[in-house]
């Protein structure tokens, strides 16, 4: 009897690759066999997509409120809102097409951040990209990765990589603030706090199996 770590399924046939995902199978002596994957996985994806749309709407509303409260130019607001919705649409498309969602989110975040910085730099460099758009974009990316971790089964290696990506996303605006590139503190602090909270929370609320595997990997 074989076992697929990615699908978390036991397979009775004597084959070397998982018929669902194509990953290599491991040998096991367990007697219990699941013939098909759990049916609630598609429901999880639907919930994840709804959360992504809601998060994009929430962040867009927050940007509009910030603009009215600070009386800043509309250019950075439009850039931020377009960036959020572009990233949300890309994430939903990746979920439905079963692609590498985490890598796509990271690449899209870096590309949109660079684009907003170039736009800001081309228009007298008022630092709205570094002060507001990039930190809020990183916050949205942290939320997307968190939803991905919660709703999609991940191998331990991918789980650890995603956690460190979240930590890096939260650390980036803090470094911009520390080196004086960003001049408004609260957006960078919000991103750093959100990233740290997710990082610690994932360790605290991880399953017993995940904690056991991490202790074995890191010899804790």
Which is more confidently placed, 10 or 89?
89
pLDDT band at 39 (very low <50, low <70, confident <90, very high): very low
Task: Express each pLDDT in 123-168 by its tens digit.
Answer: 788 888 899 889 988 988 898 888 878 777 667 777 888 888 888 9
Task: Kindly state the average pLDDT of the residues 84-102.
Answer: 74
pTM of the predicted model as reported, rounded to 2 decimal places: 0.60
Alpha-carbon distances of 171 from 41, 114, 153, 178, rounded to whole Å: 32, 17, 26, 10
What integer pLDDT is reported at residue 179 of this predicted model? 93
């Amino acid at each position: 009897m074989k076992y697929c770590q990615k699908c978390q399924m036991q397979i009775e046939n004597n084959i070397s690759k998982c018929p669902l995902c194509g990953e290599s199978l491991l040998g096991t002596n367990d007697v219990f066999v699941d013939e098909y994957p759990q049916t609630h996985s598609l429901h999880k994806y639907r919930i994840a997509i709804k959360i992504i749309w809601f998060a994009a709407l929430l962040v867009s509303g927050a940007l509009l409120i910030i603009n009215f409260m600070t009386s800043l130019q509309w250019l950075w607001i439009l850039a931020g809102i377009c960036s959020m919705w572009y990233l949300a649409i890309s994430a939903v498309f990746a979920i439905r097409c079963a692609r590498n969602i985490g890598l796509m989110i990271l690449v899209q975040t870096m590309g949109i951040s660079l684009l907003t910085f170039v736009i800001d730099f081309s228009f007298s460099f008022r630092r709205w990209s570094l002060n507001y758009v990039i930190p809020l974009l990183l916050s949205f990316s942290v939320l997307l990765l968190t939803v991905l971790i919660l709703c999609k089964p991940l191998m331990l290696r991918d789980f650890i990589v995603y956690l460190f990506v979240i930590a890096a996303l939260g650390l980036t605006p803090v470094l911009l603030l520390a080196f004086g590139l960003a001049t408004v503190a609260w957006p960078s602090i919000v991103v750093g706090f959100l990233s740290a909270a997710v990082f610690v929370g994932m360790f605290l609320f991880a399953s017993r199996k995940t904690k056991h595997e991490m202790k074995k990997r890191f010899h804790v």
